[in-house]
């Protein structure tokens, strides 16, 4: 417990000194608590936890130093024209004769730390079936295997797991033994959740079961740099001649290896090598919260909504002022990660994520985002890619889109059907009866034909028979206590269906 003097200092110098003493007391209390926790770790795990806690200490130290928002709104500028290139310009360079040479310098890294709990599934999200019985992980392996076979290349797959997903993922990996893909894994750090009041860890020991099950967290995907470096895998891949990683979320089905972007990276003159590419795409109304690229202190920088002062949030969400957002598809130089880690020069803004645990205990977890490190790399670049490279599956509404005939599946990659006349995907909103994957699946005897659909809203107890076709704008609302069964073979075009299956023109 911290002792506060009865009288707070009156002038600003004394106040600053007082705050500094408070910070030092907090750091020393945190240090003592972490040492206590480490004392309960056993064997090889103790060494891993020690490295994790070193990273946590640095983050906690920075958290105590932060005063107010990390950006001054008046210093934000639009990125210079040449710092965000249109994809067509990158594509116009064409491809070299020997694509395998470029591919052999590449490693694909998938962020695989998340669970499928938001979609009502147990275990890693990457093991949810998304198309023809294929999981996110199956599709990823198929994509890379196809590349390796087509170009006689050796692109490995690296999975960044968390303590939540590691065990289940490793069991599944055995099924890919005979695929032409080398698969490596490493683990994200494990950090202690912090009591919001005392600013000390909630954990009593290093166990992860029983009452300690909720007191640890993986600290966001910005942890990739430190944990990749600490695992020894970064060093190993550099020794094998690898130069770049392509990092993306495993649930983004649009994030496939793009040969034009890869060629742009490897064909640049050595002194001007681009160390970091962020794929961005044009904002729509659905993307107003996505991070965007700005010019700040002469550097390209990622601006997330959490860093925006409250008075400017509406401005940040404006599609006219900030036209693009970060897809989290990133191409990063391995040697640059190594250099920045060794120099302790990786600087990412801290995201303070509040949570409430069982028993109404308020905690915070300190996180970082992988894209926020863009400002640390030399000659960083944004590339404005087609929307098709951003196809995340976060909800069952997204799942319905990727399971439908809007997309065709080839060699693990989903592409928009040529039979769809509009380049955009329909806007789909499924109600709470569809949130969990298992329940969602029982409500569709077969996935409807959605080639000509613009908008679908479904609310309440609704089921779909086989071979239903949806076109234009379709709104289906079953009131509380009512149930609507859309009959097999129905064709709904610009219809509102409500109550007890009254079908009205929209």
Q: What are phi and psi of 241, to 5 degrees?
A: 90, 10
Three-class SS of residue 115? strand
Measured CA angle at 260 (ends 257, 262), to 5 deg: 60
Report the run of H or E that residue 183 belongs to, with start and end. strand 183-187
Q: What CA–CA distances, in Å, run from 155 to 39, 147, 273?
A: 41, 8, 21
Of 290, 319, 295, 318, the residue nearest 305 (C-alpha): 290
Single out the catalytic residue among 394, 436, 471, 495.
394
Is the sign of the CA dihedral 431, 436, 441, 443 positive or negative?
A: negative
**241 torsion bin: left (phi>0), alpha (psi -120 to 50), beta (else):** left
Q: Using DSSP bridges, classify how beta strands 244-249 and 361-367 pair: parallel, antiparallel or unpaired.
A: unpaired
Q: How far apart are CA 179 and CA 396, in angstroms?
A: 30
Q: How far apart are CA 446 and CA 440, in angstroms?
A: 11
Burial of 103 (0-12, 13-18, 19+ CB in 10 A): buried
Q: What CA–CA distances, in Å, run from 501 to 84, 165, 455, 487?
A: 50, 43, 19, 10
> Which position has the token pair 């992980």?
137
Q: Using DSSP bridges, classify how beta strands 324-333 and 276-282 pair: parallel, antiparallel or unpaired.
A: antiparallel
| Known catalytic membership, residue 394 | yes
Is the sign of the CA dihedral 24, 28, 29, 30 positive or negative?
A: positive
First to last CA, the chain: 64
Residues in the chain: 506
Q: How many Cβ atoms sit within 10 Å of the Cβ of residue 207?
A: 14
Q: How far apart are CA 106 and CA 109, in angstroms?
A: 10
Q: How far apart are CA 202 and CA 212, in angstroms?
A: 9
The helix-helix angle for 44-65 and 12-38 (nearest 10°) equals 170
Q: Which residues contact 354 (CB under 8 A, 6 or more apart)?
A: 196, 362, 363, 364
What are the tokens at 237? Answer: 């891949």
Of 432, 431, 425, the residue nearest 403 (C-alpha): 425
Is 220 annotated as a binding-site member?
yes
Report, in this order, helix, strand and coil percent for the chain, each rounded to 5.
35, 25, 35
Is 188 annotated as a binding-site member?
yes
Is 171 annotated as a binding-site member?
no
Cite the annotated binding site for UTP by residue number. Answer: 125, 188, 220, 251, 394
Cite the annotated binding site for substrate by residue number. Answer: 221
Cite the annotated binding site by residue number. Answer: 125, 188, 220-221, 251, 394
- Please identify every residue annotated as catalytic: 394
């Amino acid at each position: 417990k911290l002792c506060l003097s009865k009288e707070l200092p009156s002038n600003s110098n004394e106040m600053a000194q007082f705050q500094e003493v408070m910070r030092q007391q907090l750091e020393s209390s945190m240090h003592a608590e972490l040492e206590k926790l480490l004392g309960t770790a056993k064997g090889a795990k103790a060494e891993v936890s020690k490295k994790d806690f070193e990273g946590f200490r640095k983050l906690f130290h920075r958290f105590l130093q932060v005063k107010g928002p990390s950006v001054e709104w008046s210093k934000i500028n639009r990125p210079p024209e040449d710092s965000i290139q249109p994809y067509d310009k990158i594509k116009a360079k064409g491809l070299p004769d020997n694509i395998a040479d470029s591919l052999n310098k590449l490693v694909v890294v998938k962020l695989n730390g998340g669970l499928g709990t938001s979609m009502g599934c147990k275990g890693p999200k990457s093991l949810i079936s998304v198309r023809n019985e294929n999981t996110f992980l199956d599709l990823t392996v198929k994509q890379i295997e196809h590349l390796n076979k087509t170009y006689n290349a050796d692109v490995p797959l690296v999975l960044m797991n968390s303590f939540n997903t590691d065990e289940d993922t490793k069991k599944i990996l055995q099924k890919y033994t005979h695929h032409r893909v080398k698969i490596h894994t490493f683990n994200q750090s494990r950090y202690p959740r912090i009591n919001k009041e005392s600013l000390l860890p909630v954990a009593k020991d290093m166990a992860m079961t029983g009452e300690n099950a909720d007191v640890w967290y993986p600290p966001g995907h910005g942890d990739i740099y430190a944990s990749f470096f600490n695992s020894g895998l970064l060093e190993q891949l550099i020794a094998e001649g690898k130069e770049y990683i392509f990092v993306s979320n495993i649930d983004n089905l649009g994030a496939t290896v793009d040969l034009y972007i890869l060629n742009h990276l490897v064909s640049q003159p050595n002194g001007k090598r681009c160390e970091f590419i962020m794929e961005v795409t044009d904002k729509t109304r659905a993307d107003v919260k996505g991070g965007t690229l700005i010019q700040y202190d002469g550097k390209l920088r990622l601006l997330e909504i959490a860093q925006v002062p409250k008075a400017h949030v509406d401005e940040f969400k404006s599609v006219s002022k900030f036209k693009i957002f970060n897809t989290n598809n990133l191409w990063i130089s391995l040697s640059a990660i190594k250099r920045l880690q060794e120099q302790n020069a990786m600087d990412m803004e801290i995201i303070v994520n509040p949570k409430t645990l069982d028993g109404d205990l308020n905690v915070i977890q300190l996180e970082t985002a992988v894209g926020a490190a863009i400002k640390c790399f030399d000659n960083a670049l944004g590339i404005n890619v087609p929307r098709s490279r951003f196809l995340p599956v976060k909800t069952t509404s997204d799942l319905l889109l990727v399971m439908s005939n809007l997309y065709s599946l080839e060699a693990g990659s989903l592409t928009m059907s040529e039979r769809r006349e509009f380049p955009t995907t329909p806007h789909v909103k499924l109600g709470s009866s569809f949130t969990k994957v298992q329940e969602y699946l029982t409500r569709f005897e077969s996935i409807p034909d959605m080639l000509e659909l613009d908008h679908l809203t479904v609310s309440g107890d609704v089921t779909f028979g086989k071979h239903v076709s949806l076109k234009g704008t379709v709104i289906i609302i079953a009131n509380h206590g009512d149930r609507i069964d859309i009959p097999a073979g129905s064709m709904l075009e610009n219809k509102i269906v409500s109550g007890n299956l009254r079908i009205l023109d929209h």
